[in-house]
Amino acid sequence: MTSHVTTEGGDVAPPRVPQPGSQATWRHNRLSAARVVDLTQVISGSVATMLMADFGAEVIKVEPPDGEPYRRYGTLVPGATGGENLNVMRFNRNKRSVCIDLKTAAGREVLGELVAAADVVVENFRPGVMQRLGFDFARLKELNPNVVYTTISGYGHDDLLPSPNTTDPAYAILTEANAGLLHLAGDPGGRPVWMGFAMSDIFSGVLAFAGTVMALGEVDNGRGPQRVDISMFDASLFMNDLPVNTFEVLGRVTGRGQYPLQAPWGPFPTADGYLAVAIMSEREWTALCVAVGRPGLASDDRLQTGEQRAANIDIIDKAVSGWLVDQSTEAAVANLQAAGVPCAPVNDAAGAARHPHTEAREMLVDVLHEDVGHTRVVGNPIKSSVPTRLREPSTIPRLGQDTRQVLREVLDRDSDAIDELVEKGVVRG
């Protein structure tokens, strides 16, 4: 643990050391020696802190007394008496839930004490909110000289690299639209199609996780407080690198529903669904032509390179779709794979959840909620020799269930002081 607490006399107390019997006794890696004040909401920040918790960080999720906004969206989970919905189950495993009213001076005082006792602060408010609360980076550094302050927003914060769009609304679909991702999905010449999930939110959370781990290393090397800032637009543009680089280097704009380097590269309809085909080499292209009963296409002058095939995709679509029309997805995949053609079924969520790879790689993990009981959610995709909590049932807390314990253990508040804060509505627990 590298965090320090400033005492009333101004002295800096020694780093917090996990005590026997505490949550920290099993710890093995850098994150597992970290305490994180989690001020995040909705998806992006919640993903970042979930990954931190997976690798052992003590994540203290701070919410208003009535919970963060995402608790009010989505399907309620059967059996949850506290109104928990699917979103709570998705991102809150292994976190400690604390409710503080940051609109009150006493609530902000409690938050300041938590910051002083932490290693990392993560938030994804709109830029300016933390300043209005009195917790900009300058203040955080005063409270904790070794803090890592990680932020996620649509277009970044002005203290690092200012953007003219800093204050723009930043839902995932909007940053994806601005960064050119939304342009890519859909039929050529047709309407853009959203992918159906918050892609830039998820990826921004992963980047924030990686950036925070990097920053902790800087703190450990004696380089003082660190700042990490993730923009959802930047994350979207990074994912959109091939079309953007194609434009910058070659001056060409990639069309909708097209992969400009190779073809066929995409989904085809079958008798009962869809399968995806990906042709990268000439050997694979020839194998596809033979498999669909059109060997002559392999020598067609219009289809000799990946770019030529992309430009004449209608010819290929007609040949492949005609062969697939009477075949089930399962049969077509088996036939194409036997012929050496890279392909896969287009699974829905049920197919993905029951895929043998999902089970083999432990990508669904057991979680436990006091009201809901045991269920499974998507696990951590980072497989490594670093120990995680994912082989144990991960707990999902009720809203505010850890407030009293955190104030007592972390801030050394006694029961009377905590009761007073509860009675005044400063905290809930």
Q: What is the mean pLDDT of residues 305-312?
A: 91
Please state which of the ranges 78-82, 106-110, 138-142, 350-354 shows the lowest mean pLDDT: 78-82
pLDDT surpasses 50 at 290: yes
Neighbours of 369 (CB within 10 A): 22
Domain shared by 171 and 269, yes or no: no
The reply to whether 189 and 329 lie within a common domain is no
Q: Tell me, yes or no, whether 247 lies in a domain.
A: no
Tell me: do 148 and 288 sit in the same domain: no
Please report whether residue 270 resides in a domain: yes
Residue 298, domain CATH: 3.30.1540.10
Distance in angstroms (rounded) separating the CA atoms of residues 128 and 228: 16
pLDDT above 90 covers a percentage of the chain that reads 77
Whether residues 196 and 220 fall in one domain: yes
* CATH assignment of the domain containing 62: 3.40.50.10540
pLDDT band at 422 (very low <50, low <70, confident <90, very high): very high
State pTM to two decimals: 0.89
The parent domain of residue 301 ranges over: 265-346
Work out how many domains the chain is built from and give that number.
Answer: 2
Q: Which of 317, 346, 375 is the last residue of a domain?
A: 346
Q: Looking at the structure, tell me whether residues 325 and 413 fall in a common domain.
A: no
Mark which of 346, 377, 407 sits at the end of a domain.
346
Statement to judge: residues 342 and 403 lie in one domain: no
Per-position b or e across 299-335, b if 16+ CB within 10 A of its CB: eeeebeebeebbeebebbeebbeebbeebebeebbeb
Q: Is 423 exposed, middle or buried (0-12, 13-18, 19+ CB in 10 A)?
A: exposed
Q: Are residues 339 and 220 in the same domain?
A: no
Same-domain pairing of 333 and 364: no
Q: Under 8 Å CB-to-CB from 412, ≥6 apart: which residues?
A: none
User: Please, what is the average pLDDT of the chain?
Assistant: 90
**57 Cβ contact partners less than 8 Å away, ≥ 6 residues apart:** 31, 32, 34, 35, 36, 49, 120
pLDDT grade for 410, boundaries at 50, 70 and 90: very high
Domain assignment present for 178? yes
Residue 19 reports pLDDT greater than 60: no
| Same-domain pairing of 336 and 296 | yes
Residue 11 confidence (pLDDT): 43
C-alpha 346, offset from chain centre: 23
Residue 388, pLDDT above cutoff 70 = no
Region 373-378 average pLDDT: 90
